Amino acid sequence: MNLKLLMMSILLHIIICYSSTSKEGNECINANAKHCGECIQAGAKCGWCKDPDFLKQGETVSTRCDELQSLMKRGCDVALIENPRGEQKTLKNKTVTHRRKGQEKLKPEDITQIQPQKLTLTLRSGEPQSFDLKFKRAEDYPIDLYYLMDLSFSMKDDLENVKNLGTSLMLEMSKITSDFRIGFGSFVEKTVMPYISTTPAKLLNPCTGDQNCTSPFSYKNVLKLTSDGKKFNTLVGQQHISGNLDSPEGGFDAIMQVAVCGEQIGWRNVTRLLVFSTDAGFHFAGDGKLGGIVLPNDGKCHLENNIYTMSHYYDYPSIAHLVQKLSDNNIQTIFAVTEEFQPVYKELKNLIPKSAVGTLSANSSNVINLIIDAYNSLSSEVILENSKLPEGVTIAYISRCKNGVVSEGENGRKCSNISIGDEVMFSISVTSKGCPKQGKPETIKIKPLGFTEEVEITLNFICECECHKEGIKSNQFCHFGNGTYECGACKCNEGRVGRQCECSTNDVATEDMDRTCRKDNGTDICSNNGDCVCGTCECKKRDNPEERYSGQYCECDNFNCDRSGNKLCGGHGRCECRMCICDPMWTGSACDCSMDSSTCMASNQQICNGRGTCECGTCKCTDPKFQGPTCETCPTCPGVCTEHKECVQCRAFGTGEKKDTCERDCSYFNLIKVKDRDKLPQPTDTSYPVMHCKERDANDCWFYYTYAVNNNTEKEVHVVDTLDCPAGPDIIPIVAGVVAGIVLIGLALLLIWKLLMIIHDRREFAKFEKEKMNAKWDTQENPIYKSPINQFQNPHYGRKAAVL
């Protein structure tokens, strides 16, 4: 009996824990929504049941808000569930221009490189709205190029080279575009101490010795953008070198004026290039204090008679200010500087999008090559940027570039190596979290850096349900008009509480008020992090103003989230209610798990070689035979050649173990036959790895083939269509050789045997001779010797003898 009770208690505990976990993971329930508008802002999965009889006794109004499946399971009819969805509508969708050089010339405003141009997105909280943006680099697109040159004394030789640049550059650029304009400006330095000498003589001629220099100036617009190359040569040829005292120059002042003085410079809505030529460093914001100039640069145009007149009044602009103005005016910058200052300007290039650095040369043709190379480099890359997003709105990019290259995250904003006429696609997803405070439509813009064209997107937000429009204010059902009856429930007026707005916050006893401040009927009022004031928790303040408590019961805070690398939420998210809300492309309890799969990309362009899963930027190999950072190493696996041998053999020659099941088992690759081995693809001929194989069949014939996975992730096999079989053996020489070998071996064995016998006999004879010499002969009679003579004596014979 006790065992039975124990099992029932364990089962009940599991059910309670599961229910609690499910509730914690349900954003609709956690929202504790009091009306339909709050519910649909909780998440894209949330719906509101407006059935008046849906609630059961004891349930709060917030239980009307739940996931759709849960609401239907609890008995709410689908027709009575409020679940508005977002939508998108394209308002302007002019196709990109398909035009080649030599065809009818179009005005810049008639050329389209980006599609669509205008659309409207209606956003529901948590529901992304996606659309595709096409970009095509137009051929023969107009170009405006402004050459901004440092005219300090050290640039004297470079000025001579630029004097003939106009016509030469016009000729070279005509190969790229038929509509090219060029302008020229110069700069030196602010005309105050200590940047220049302010003595009268030095103001007239800042150079020393016999050098004839012009008076120092900050910036001068010498030539407005023009298509007349000869005019460029003429006006530049009239320029003279000037001078200053310190090494850094006032180039930032000049760049700012070139960027913001569009009318004076003559910029059109076309490709805008600014070539900045100098052999020195630069002053930036704060350096003006040396000359007593403390007012920050205002970023406005101050050209009078094409001369910058406020250099003595405004400080140099900051780098960030320049970046903003160059971006706003779609200007791409080319820094042509000497070898000495290359490192400095390369660092500056990293801060200024769509900029390039080249080496300034004393040869005018090299300057032209520098400009053309930099232009090709800049125009071959498209980078999307968006204007400031409304609060709670996020945007994500996925790029689909040439050769099937797909990128996400920050890399999803750009495509490289784009040639004229190439089309690339970007998938853009816009998501809203919640509803902006005003709830009014917002407009954002997306454009490629350095281009004037843009996509205008109007954002509409779904902040209320459709049934909100049918609400009845001061309805009698809501306790004599103390609320608005909408979406099947009462939305109480301020100061009223309860399912039917039957309570006033001023009339409820203190004990009842405290009860509403206890979470889950607990003993702690406002989670011990606040005070209960009129039935509502007011959270305490922390010493650190960045740290704060929040929540209905002050149960939330923004400083007790998981940490990684000693950073809150790993530095890749924000802490909300003790939970990390991770930035895009990051996940995990501490936002320390990267969702970027580029580190898991194997050499065959497959995630983890197709043998594992990418978790937090690291491959987890699902096949235990594979290992390594991208699951490509397999110490115990047969080679690629052995793995595909049978299928190649059956498909190419109709032989092998799989010849009967070839069509079923071996159709996973494309087979391409070639005549000989020289026709097989080589690793240097392709952009993807190629494995060369040499295998032998059952008849000892060799066949040669290559195995590869191409850029489209298709498996390719190139095979030589003829077998390399060895010639048959010559029998007679083999038999003769075998017989001769046997005879020779027999003779050799006989000779060895004879030799061994001779050696043995000689050893025995020597032994005999030795024993013979050592023998001692005995002369006594042999004791066992018996004589062969027997003597007998006749007894009577003796007597006769005696008588005789």
Rounded distance between C-alpha atoms, residue 68 and residue 788, angstroms: 144
Name the 3-class secondary structure at 593. Answer: strand
Which sign, positive or negative, has the C-alpha torsion 80, 82, 83, 87?
positive
Contacts of 781 (CB under 8 A, 6+ apart): none
- The 3-class secondary structure across 20-85, one letter per residue, is HHHHHCCHHHHCCCCCHHHHHHHCCCEEEECCCCCCCCCCCHHHHEEEHHHHHHCCCCHHHEECCC
pLDDT at 364: 64
pLDDT at 275: 93
Render pLDDT for 311-333 as a digit per residue (tens, 0 to 9): 999 999 999 999 999 988 989 99
pLDDT at 247: 83
pLDDT at 757: 92
Lowest average pLDDT, out of 180-194, 414-428, 510-524, goes to 510-524
Rounded distance between C-alpha atoms, residue 701 and residue 779, angstroms: 90
pLDDT at 777: 54
Mean of the pLDDT values across residues 540-544?
Answer: 67
Q: Which residue has the higher pLDDT, 504 or 536?
A: 504
pLDDT at 797: 63
Write the DSSP symbol of residue 96.
P
pLDDT at 1: 41
DSSP secondary structure string, 210-274? T---PPP-SEEEEEEEES-HHHHHHHHHT------SSSSB-HHHHHHHHHH-HHHHT--SSEEEE
Lowest average pLDDT, out of 140-149, 161-170, 254-263, 569-578, goes to 161-170
pLDDT at 308: 94
Q: Which residue has the higher pLDDT, 636 or 570?
A: 570
pLDDT at 285: 92
Rounded distance between C-alpha atoms, residue 648 and residue 34, angstroms: 68
Residue 239 has pLDDT above 90, yes or no: no
| pLDDT classification of 444: cutoffs 50, 70, 90 | very high
pLDDT at 179: 87
pLDDT at 513: 63
Unique residue bearing structure tokens 């998501």: 431
Going from the C-alpha of 691 to that of each of 650, 683, 688, 694, 724, the distances in angstroms are 19, 8, 10, 10, 19
pLDDT at 343: 92
pLDDT at 58: 46
Rounded to two decimals, the pTM is: 0.55
pLDDT at 21: 41
Contacts of 136 (CB under 8 A, 6+ apart): 96, 97, 113, 115, 421, 422, 423, 424
Residue 533 has pLDDT above 80, yes or no: no
pLDDT at 11: 47
pLDDT at 59: 60
| pLDDT classification of 495: cutoffs 50, 70, 90 | confident
Residue 112 has pLDDT above 70, yes or no: yes
Mean of the pLDDT values across residues 414-419?
Answer: 88
- Compute how many other C-beta atoms are within 10 angstroms of the C-beta atom of residue 541: 11
Angle in degrees, CA 683, 713, 632, rounded to 5: 70
Residue 781's identity, in one-letter code, is: E
Rounded distance between C-alpha atoms, residue 695 and residue 649, angstroms: 9
pLDDT at 488: 85
Beta strands in 281-345 (DSSP E): 303-304, 307-308, 331-337
Mean of the pLDDT values across residues 60-82?
Answer: 85
Phi/psi for 363 (5° steps) reads -105, 130
Helix (H) or strand (E) holding 6: helix 2-24
pLDDT at 220: 94
Unique residue bearing structure tokens 């062969």: 788
Q: For the chain, what percent of residues have pLDDT higher than 70?
A: 88
Residue 642 has pLDDT above 90, yes or no: no
Going from the C-alpha of 174 to that of each of 117, 377, 583, 798, the distances in angstroms are 29, 18, 47, 174
Mean of the pLDDT values across residues 549-560?
Answer: 82
Q: For the chain, what percent of residues have pLDDT higher than 90?
A: 27
Rounded distance between C-alpha atoms, residue 735 and residue 401, angstroms: 70
Render pLDDT for 566-589 as a digit per residue (tens, 0 to 9): 888 988 898 888 889 999 888 888
Q: Which residue has the higher pLDDT, 611 or 539?
A: 611
Mean pLDDT of the chain: 83
pLDDT at 800: 47
Lowest average pLDDT, out of 350-354, 620-624, 797-801, goes to 797-801
| pLDDT classification of 546: cutoffs 50, 70, 90 | low
Radius of gyration of the chain (CA): 48
Phi/psi for 605 (5° steps) reads 65, 25
Phi/psi for 744 (5° steps) reads -60, -40
Lowest average pLDDT, out of 235-244, 267-276, 473-482, 628-637, goes to 628-637
Rounded distance between C-alpha atoms, residue 262 and residue 553, angstroms: 57
pLDDT at 778: 53
pLDDT at 804: 36
Render pLDDT for 734-777 as a digit per residue (tens, 0 to 9): 888 899 999 999 999 999 999 999 999 899 888 888 888 876 55
pLDDT at 713: 64
Mean of the pLDDT values across residues 486-498?
Answer: 81
pLDDT at 515: 76
Render pLDDT for 715-733 as a digit per residue (tens, 0 to 9): 889 999 888 887 767 788 8
Going from the C-alpha of 111 to that of each of 64, 96, 167, 445, the distances in angstroms are 53, 8, 27, 19
Contact 186, 219 (CB under 8 A): yes
Name the 3-class secondary structure at 752. Answer: helix
Mean of the pLDDT values across residues 679-694?
Answer: 80
Residue 19 has pLDDT above 50, yes or no: no
| pLDDT classification of 541: cutoffs 50, 70, 90 | low
Within a 13 Å sphere around the CA of 797, how many CA atoms are in the beta-carbon half? Answer: 3
Render pLDDT for 498-508 as a digit per residue (tens, 0 to 9): 667 777 766 65
pLDDT at 742: 93
Residue 458 has pLDDT above 80, yes or no: yes
